[in-house]
Amino acid sequence: MPAHKFKLEIDQGATYDKVVTWKAGAKAATAAPVDLTGCKARAQIRAEVDSPDVLLALTTENGRIELGGPAGTIRILIDAATTAEITWESGVYDLEVVFPGSGRVVRRMAGSVLVSKEVTRDA
């Protein structure tokens, strides 16, 4: 299954909080959430696919990705202090889920990242 194409649109200086549900099944009407219990997730934002520098790392370990176990939810959460420090305007990312035991890695999401620059700032 190819990665789901999803654009991340981040407002600089604001909390980014997006939840998606990973479902699997032959038909959308009968698809069931994928159990993510025990899984870990990781994502990197880079200027371009081949860029050596990571602009922002998101993982279950650093709290920027939360997995919802049997509900199949993937929550991307970037606090306002972190988005306020962003100096770049665009990039690309992908998000991988690592399953326990087998170590199977699924590239679940991928796409572009756009940052809307903050106008209102602390004095």
CATH code, domain carrying 101: 2.60.40.10
Q: Which residue is associated with the tokens 């665009």? A: 90
Residue 123 has a pLDDT of 67
User: Is residue 75 assigned to a domain?
Assistant: yes
User: Is residue 123 assigned to a domain?
Assistant: no
Show the tokens assigned to 10: 């981040």
Report how many domains make up the chain: 1
Residue 39 has a pLDDT of 98
pLDDT per residue as tens digits for the range 22-48: 999 888 888 999 999 999 999 999 999
> In the chain, which residues have pLDDT < 50?
none
Residue 30, SS3 per DSSP: helix
User: Is residue 92 assigned to a domain?
Assistant: yes
Residue 48 belongs to domain spanning: 4-116
Residue 81 has a pLDDT of 96
User: Is residue 122 assigned to a domain?
Assistant: no
